[in-house]
Structure formats: structure tokens, C-alpha cells
Amino acid sequence: MKFRRSGRLVDMTNYMLHHPHSLVPLTYFSEKYHSAKSSISEDLTIIKETFEQHGIGTLLTVPGAAGGVKFIPKVEYKEAKQFVDELCELIAKPERLLPGGYLYLTDILGNPSIVNKIGRLFATAFGNRKIDVVMTVATKGIPLAYAVAAQLDVPVVIVRKDSKVTEGSTVSINYVSGSSKRIQTMLLAKRSLKEGSNVLIIDDFMKAGGTINGMISLLEEFKANVAGIGVLVESEGVEERLVDEYISLVKLANVDIRERNIQVMPGTYFQLVKDKKIGEN
Amino acid sequence: MKFRRSGRLVDMTNYMLHHPHSLVPLTYFSEKYHSAKSSISEDLTIIKETFEQHGIGTLLTVPGAAGGVKFIPKVEYKEAKQFVDELCELIAKPERLLPGGYLYLTDILGNPSIVNKIGRLFATAFGNRKIDVVMTVATKGIPLAYAVAAQLDVPVVIVRKDSKVTEGSTVSINYVSGSSKRIQTMLLAKRSLKEGSNVLIIDDFMKAGGTINGMISLLEEFKANVAGIGVLVESEGVEERLVDEYISLVKLANVDIRERNIQVMPGTYFQLVKDKKIGEN
């Protein structure tokens, strides 16, 4: 059975979208559709042009016998800015302010469509780094970590603050929470992370950075490397930030709990894109 | 600027895949591409045929002024069976057995590609029910819940076993864990669930069903309805099952911790598909 170009384009688009950052040999498609490699190449050119034109991402062609094509998801600056502006507006509502300067984000983090867009943004920012695994801490960061990992085609590991019988033996560290200055514990299942892994840390909220700093210490225990840090919301106005290098999408400033006032603005992501430090081809 | 059919097909496929179970008016596409509605209709016919031919799902056409097209993700029986057979093989390794008859699933649940396939399977099973929200309990069920919710285009709410400052006021219940017979507490943020919501419960593992039973009690507190229950793995050989109606993908039998022996087989999903009780158009 032969497949027409129109049908191939639809099925290939579906396949590429479901396999980001994976190298797909051209023979995979030519065998699946009983089509010549030259026809598949033409199909891929159409898909690449359409992806780029509509801000979906791009296709990278890797030449040679071990070559193929790779889908790199990518959000354009304009779309990213518009999305984060909407997010800022959503977050700026005073009823979100909770005791301790925390923010009610449960509804936003409970929306898979928003979460997946956030994943695409971070995948754009970190897409050109070598990443083996995405790490987060239970529980709010979990959906964000999966959304990023799906776009980067890597697994997720979840650090916990309590031990679970269903994970086997664990490695634990103590860390100082940046804002409350209390000593806390976090742990990770021994078999969940290989030595030398390049780890992207993702979390929903960062104040002083104590939790993220804890994850960095944990990575040292596993002899793993920090490949990047991404947070959805960072809160400004902290005397001493424990973490220097990170990408945030949203920044809070002038949090005034008594007056129920917050100022919400786009995070470091946009400055870094402008400075051409992230999101490059 | 006019768009050619080939480019439209690629972009429309991307759009439909990212908006499952949402009604998209034809005018959305005809305006986006400056194309006649008749051309858009032809495009959609090609996409529908390709989706059905390759087991991606189908497109439903809703006629009339308020009409449009809706993408219904759907996994074919054959693909589902093959995927779950592979999952069974992966799960059947004796080194996964943990004290208490639990199973180490962290690596499987940490793989976004597996998790998303599980999400598509549950979306196939529950796709024709009225569902407003997917509920799970922290933490292992979270990625599965998001994967299902993304395919059904509904939000996720997460029940917790400990209170968090960042969620505001909560409703809590006590429940009896089915296997350990201990009394435990679970809670849900007050503002996270509306009265009368139709709720799909998703979890990773069910033994006697105490945790799921607890979620059902919590739904009663919120005057919400159980629209369905889906679990990745159920463990057989429990004297008294607290939950009757559920869909499982994988079933454990003859768990012998001393001999490090487990028997793993496909769950109720496949019996229900065969009996035509789920997955109907």
C-alpha cells in the first residue's frame, strides 16, 4: 500500500511532535510509507518550513549513514512574551497572597495546557544544553518537570522531603531553608540517578533558593552535574540569594502581605533571550 | 498571504493534537490561513482519515453555526495490548519487589514517554464520559493524572496527605488504609474543586483500595461525583476490595515476597474493551 503525500505529512507531523529531540532515521519513514527517501526528504522540508513559520520549532537534519532528522521544539520570543504577560496578569491578583509571602498557584499549576506551555518555554531555553534528566522536589514542581522532560526526551527524578517505602534505599541530605532558616531533610532513591548525570533542576517557586541549593548538594552526593536551573516564579527582595544562575519566567517584587499588594513582571528568561544567552540555534 | 494545503495540513495537525476534546470552529482555520471553508473541510477529511488509519484518534464534526471539529485521541486495541504487554514484562522483574508487597515503579513513572502513553490509554477508556477534572493523591499518581488530563482537556486537583502553607484553607477526611488498616488523613484545598464536579480518579497502584476509597469520601465532602477510576497497577489477592468499579492496565497476582516471585498480567482495561464497555465511539 502506497501513502500519498498529504497523509504522510499528517502522520509524520504527529510522529515528530511526539518524539522531540530524538534522531529519527529517514529509513523509518521510507519503510513505513513504502516511499522513496527523496519523497520523504521533500515531506520533511515542508514540515520544517511550516514548523518554523508557525513557531512550533524546527527540524534539524543530521547527514550521513547514522543520520536522520530531529525535531527541536521552540517557542518564539513574541509568543513566549505574550504567554508570560498573560501569566503575570493571572498571578497578580491580590487574593493569591498567602501568609508568609507565598502565592496560591494551585489552579495555574493544575492546568495541563498552561503547564505544557511552560514546559515548551523551558525546553526552548535549555534545548541546546546536554541534559540527561530533569530533577524536581515533590510536589508542586512535578507537573512542570514532566512537561519540560517530555519536550527534551529525558526522564524525571523526584526528590522527596519524606521517605517512602515504595522507593527502596535512599540518599538523604540536610539543608537550610533560605527563608525560614530551618534545617530540613531531602532525599532521593539510590537507584534513580546515575553518577555523572547532567541534571536540569526545575521548580515552581524560589525565594532565597534554599530548596534548590539543597538539590544541588544532593547532586554532589550522586556525583552528578547541574546542567541548568529553571523556576516558574522567583520572589525578589531576598537579602541573600543562595543560587546565582537560574532562569525564571515570572518575577515577584514588592510583596506586601499587609496591603495585599504584589508587583508581577516577566523573569530573567526574557533578558537572557535578548542577550542571546539562551534559546540559540 | 495564502497558505498551501501541505503547510495547512502540518499546522492543523499540530493544532488539533495540542487541543484534544476541544471544539474548534472551522472559521478559526479559514481565518488563520485565509482559505475557503470548503478547503478547510477537505483538509480535515484528510487529517481524520490519516488519524484513523494510523491509530492516532479521530476527528468528530459537529455541524451547525456553533459547530466545528473536535479531536478525540484514541489508542487502538492492538497498540494498547502491545504497550501493556511490554509494560508487564518491564514490571515482572523480581528486583522490583519491595517490603510489604509494594513494587518499585519509580523508573517507569519517571519516563514521560511511557507516562504519556498511559495517559492516552486512560483517555481512550474514559473519553466518552462527562469529566470536569482529574483527581489524584500526591505524589506518584501526579504524572499519570496530568497525562490523562492533558488528553481530556481538563484540570488536575491533587489530594495531599500533609497540609501545605501554600494552598490556603483545606477540607480533610480520615480514612482507613485498606492493607495496613491504619487511620490516615487526606486533604484538599477548598478552592480547588467546585460543587457538582464530575471527577475522574487516577492513581498508580491499588491494593485493597483504601486510598481511592478515601478520595471518594473526600468527593462526597465537596458534593462532587465520581466519573470513573483508573489505576495503572492493581494487586490481586486482597481479601476485601473496598472499590468495585475501576479500570486497571496491569494486574499483579501471586505476589510472593519471600520467593521474590510476581505474576504480572494485563488489567481489566482489556476485558472491558472486549466486552465493549469502554472505548466506544
CATH number at residue B16: 1.10.10.10
Domain boundary among A17, A46, A73: A73
pLDDT of B166: 66
Calculate the average pLDDT of chain A.
91
Q: Are residues B131 and B255 in the same domain?
A: yes
Domain boundary among B51, B73, B95: B73
Residue ending a domain, among B73, B98, B131, is: B73
Q: What's the distance, CA A274 to chain centroid?
A: 19
User: CA A175, CA B115: separation in Å to the nearest integer?
Assistant: 31
**A146·B150 Cβ contact <8 A:** no
Q: Same structural domain for residues B259 and B138?
A: yes
B118, B146, B152, B235: best to mutate for the A interface, most A CBs within 10 A: B146
Nearest to B20 by CA among B57, B48, B64, B52: B57
d(CA B2, CA B210): 58
Domain residues for B207?
77-274
The answer to whether the Cα torsion of A142, A146, A152, A153 is positive or negative is positive
Both A238 and A168 in one domain: the answer is yes
A33 lies in a domain? yes
Question: What is each CA distance from A174 to A142, B183, B209, B278, in whole angstroms?
Answer: 21, 30, 34, 48
Predicted pLDDT of residue B244 = 80
Measure the CA–CA gap between A165 and A158, rounded to whole angstroms: 15
Cβ neighbours of A170 in B, within 8 Å: none
The pLDDT of residue A80 is 96
How close does chain A come to B43, measured CA to CA in Å? Answer: 9
B150/A10 CB distance under 8 A? no
Statement to judge: residues A122 and A166 lie in one domain: yes
User: Taking CA atoms, what residue in A is nearest to B111?
Assistant: A155
The model's confidence at residue A281, banded by pLDDT at 50, 70 and 90, is: very low
Q: Name which residue leads in pLDDT, B149 or B191.
A: B149
**CATH code, domain with A182:** 3.40.50.2020
Local structure of A160: helix, strand or coil: strand
B192 and B227 both lie in a single domain:
yes
User: Chain A contacts of B100, Cβ < 8 Å?
Assistant: 165
Q: Could you tell me the three cell numbers for A42?
A: 521533500
Residue B279 in domain: no
Q: Which residues of B touch A5 (CB under 8 A)?
A: 6
Specify if A127 maps to a domain: yes
Rounded to an integer, the average pLDDT of B59-64 is 93
**Shortest CA gap B2–chain A (Å):** 13
Q: In this structure, is residue B237 part of a structural domain? A: yes
For residue B233, pLDDT over 90 is answered with yes
Cβ of B192 within 8 Å of Cβ of A106? The answer is yes
Cβ-count burial A46-76 (b if 16+ within 10 Å, e if not) = bbbebbeebebbebeeeeeeeebbbbbbbbe
Give every CB contact of residue B245 below 8 A, 6+ residues apart in sequence.
Answer: B229
Which has the minimum average pLDDT: A229-233, B155-159, B252-256?
B252-256
- Helix, coil or strand: residue A215: helix
Compute the distance between CA of residue B203 and CA of residue B136 in angstroms, rounded to an integer: 6
Per-residue pLDDT, averaged over B54-59, amounts to 96
Same domain for A134 and A253? Answer: yes
The partner residue sitting opposite A100, judged by closest CB among B46, B54, B165, is B165
Cis amide linkage into residue A27, ω under 30° from 0: no
Residue B281 lies in a domain: no
Please tell me whether residues B88 and B169 are part of one structural domain. yes
Rounded Cα gap, residues A123 and A72, in angstroms? 9
Q: Which of B53, B98, B140 sits opposite A168 (nearest CB)?
A: B98
Residues A49-85 have pLDDT tens digits of 999 999 999 999 999 888 899 999 999 999 999 999 9
In a domain, A133, yes or no: yes
pLDDT band at B2 (very low <50, low <70, confident <90, very high): low
Residues B193, B218: contact at Cβ < 8 Å? no
pLDDT reading at B245 higher than 60: yes
Beta strands in A196-260 (DSSP E): 198-206, 225-235, 247-256
**Smallest Cβ distance to B14: which of A5, A13, A143?**
A13
Q: Mutate which of B2, B19, B50, B197 to disrupt the A interface (most A C-beta within 10 Å)?
A: B50
Chain A CB contacts of B7 under 8 Å are: 46, 49-50, 53
Quick check: helix, strand or coil at residue A249?
strand
Could A46 and B10 be called an inter-chain contact, meaning their C-beta atoms sit closer than 8 Å? Answer: yes
Answer yes or no: do A122 and A204 share one domain.
Answer: yes
Interval B123-128 mean pLDDT: 95
Q: Is there a contact between B226 and B219 (Cβ–Cβ < 8 Å)? A: yes
Q: In this structure, are residues A185 and A174 in contact, taking their beta carbons and an 8 Å threshold?
A: yes
Residue of A nearest to B33 (CA): A54
| Residue showing cell 486533604 | B187
Residue B129 located in a structural domain:
yes
Q: With 80 as the cut, is the pLDDT of residue B75 above it?
A: yes
**The pLDDT value given to residue A143:** 98
CB contact under 8 A, B143 and A146: yes
Assigned domain for A279 exists:
no
**Whole-angstrom distance, CA of residue B152 vs CA of residue B134:** 9
Q: Are residues A113 and A232 in the same domain?
A: yes
- The reply to whether B254 and B212 lie within a common domain is yes
pLDDT band at A98 (very low <50, low <70, confident <90, very high): confident
> Within this chain, do residues B173 and B54 fall inside the same structural domain, yes or no?
no
**pLDDT tens track for A154-170:** 999 999 987 666 677 88
What's the average model confidence in pLDDT over B208-236? 94
Contact check, Cβ <8 Å, A10/B143: no
Domain count, chain A: 2
Which three cell numbers mark A137?
Answer: 522536589
Assigned C-alpha cell, A223: 556525583
Out of A54, A138, A155, the one facing B110 most closely (by C-beta) is: A155
Higher-scoring residue by pLDDT: A271, A166? A271
Q: What chain A residue is nearest to B13 in terms of C-alpha separation?
A: A10
Task: Number of A to B CB contacts under 8 A, please give it.
Answer: 160
What's the pLDDT band for B240 if we cut at 50, 70, 90? Answer: confident
- pLDDT for A152 equals 97
**Do residue A32 and residue A129 come from a single domain?**
no
**Are the Cβ atoms of B10 and A98 closer than 8 angstroms?**
no
State the Cα–Cα distance between residues A278 and A271, nearest whole angstrom: 9
Using a CB-CB cut-off of 8 Å, the residues of chain A touching B202 are none
B50 contact residues in A (CB cutoff 8 A): 6-7, 10-11
Across chain B, mean pLDDT equals 91
Test A142 with B140 for CB contact under 8 angstroms.
Answer: no
Burial class of residue A156 in the structure, from the number of CB atoms within 10 Å of its CB (0-12 exposed, 13-18 middle, 19+ buried)? buried
Q: Report ipTM (2 d.p.).
A: 0.94
Q: Is the pLDDT of residue A272 over 90?
A: no
Residue A182 has pLDDT above 90, yes or no: no
